Amino acid sequence: MRFKVIVVLAVLGSLALSGCSEQADPVCDELETLRGSIATLGDLTLEEGALEQLQSTVTQIQADAQAVRDAADEGFGAELGTFESTLRELADGVAGVVDAPSAASVAALAAEVGDTQQAWEALKAAAPDCEV
């Protein structure tokens, strides 16, 4: 069980793959903030309270995604919607592991992490003017 949680945390850390240069566009700034929140997932260590910290981090990522939505107005609609949907599923998966840790709930969480990573990559690709 611990090995699977470590693997999930390692995969979460891989969500933040690239840096960003200084930008004046508010959408790019919000995407950079979002990228930073996603990067904190990789800093989590398997110890007492790690799942609660993961839950808190996912909540912060959701708030940052909302800030991107606010800054983007109508832009990135499909990609941002997909990303937000996968974040809700990820939050539910984390809550499931916190409430009832099992091999099945950790495996489901790992799948949700993969979906979130794909959605993040699509969101970044939808913002070609931002170096995220």
pLDDT tens for each residue of 67-126? 999 998 777 788 999 999 999 999 999 998 888 888 898 888 888 888 998 999 999 999
Q: What residues make up the domain containing 104?
A: 2-12+22-125
Residue 45 has pLDDT above 60, yes or no: yes
Rounded to 5 degrees, φ, ψ at 18 are -140, 160
Instruction: Examine residue 80 and state whether it is found in any structural domain, yes or no.
Output: yes
Using pLDDT thresholds of 50, 70 and 90, give the confidence band for residue 29. Answer: very high
pTM of the predicted model as reported, rounded to 2 decimal places: 0.78
pLDDT of amino acid 123: 93
Element (H, E) at 89: helix 77-99
Is residue 95 in some structural domain?
Answer: yes
Residue at 26 is within a domain: yes
Q: How many domains does the chain have?
A: 1
Q: What percent of the chain has pLDDT over 90?
A: 36
When pLDDT is cut at 50, 70 and 90, the band that residue 12 belongs to is low
Question: What is the chain's length?
Answer: 132
Q: Give the amino acid at 34.
A: L
CA distances from 74 to 8, 27, 64, 71, 130 (A): 33, 11, 16, 9, 17
Indicate whether 89 belongs to any domain.
yes
Q: How far apart are CA 64 and CA 68, in angstroms?
A: 6
For residue 22, how many other CB atoms are within 10 A of its CB?
Answer: 8
Q: Is residue 69 part of a domain?
A: yes
Domain assignment of residue 55, yes or no: yes
